[in-house]
């Protein structure tokens, strides 16, 4: 069914229209830019309402950080799935597993 819908909508090209703050469709590029500008100006001027009386004062944490042990790393690696794509660093789980088990 999804393939059928995809084939029926092949002739639909271009970008989707954007609604401005008045709710009207912006079909031209200039109108779209104006609608986005209105949206972001309104978004940046909205004040976040919070009650300062209900905020708790927590002192900063001091001292050394928790040491990461080899057992913690092995436990985390056992929960990771193999064959997944690398992130921005380019390191995959299999590389980390090979490095940890060599040590």
Residue 34 lies in a domain: yes
Residue 28 lies in a domain: yes
Q: Give me the number of domains the chain comprises.
A: 2
Query: What is the pTM for the complete model shown?
Result: 0.37
pLDDT tens track for 39-64:
888 887 777 788 888 888 888 888 88
Q: Count Cα neighbours of 103 within 13 Å in the Cβ-side half-sphere.
A: 10
pLDDT tens track for 13-29:
667 778 888 888 888 88
Distance from CA of residue 51 to its chain's centroid?
A: 28
Note down the domain range covering 92: 70-102
Query: Model confidence at 79, in pLDDT bands (50, 70, 90)?
Result: very high
Bridge partners of residue 25, in order along the sequence: 19
Residue 89 lies in a domain: yes
């Amino acid at each position: 069914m999804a393939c059928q819908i995809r084939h029926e909508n092949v002739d639909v090209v271009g970008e989707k229209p954007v609604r401005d703050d008045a709710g009207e469709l912006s079909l031209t590029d200039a109108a779209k830019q104006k609608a986005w500008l209105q949206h972001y100006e309104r978004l940046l001027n909205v004040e976040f309402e919070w009650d300062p009386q209900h905020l708790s004062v927590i002192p900063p944490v001091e001292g050394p950080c928790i040491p990461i042990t080899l057992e913690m790393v092995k436990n985390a690696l056992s929960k990771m799935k193999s064959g997944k794509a690398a992130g921005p660093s380019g390191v995959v789980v299999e590389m980390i597993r090979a490095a940890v088990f060599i040590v």
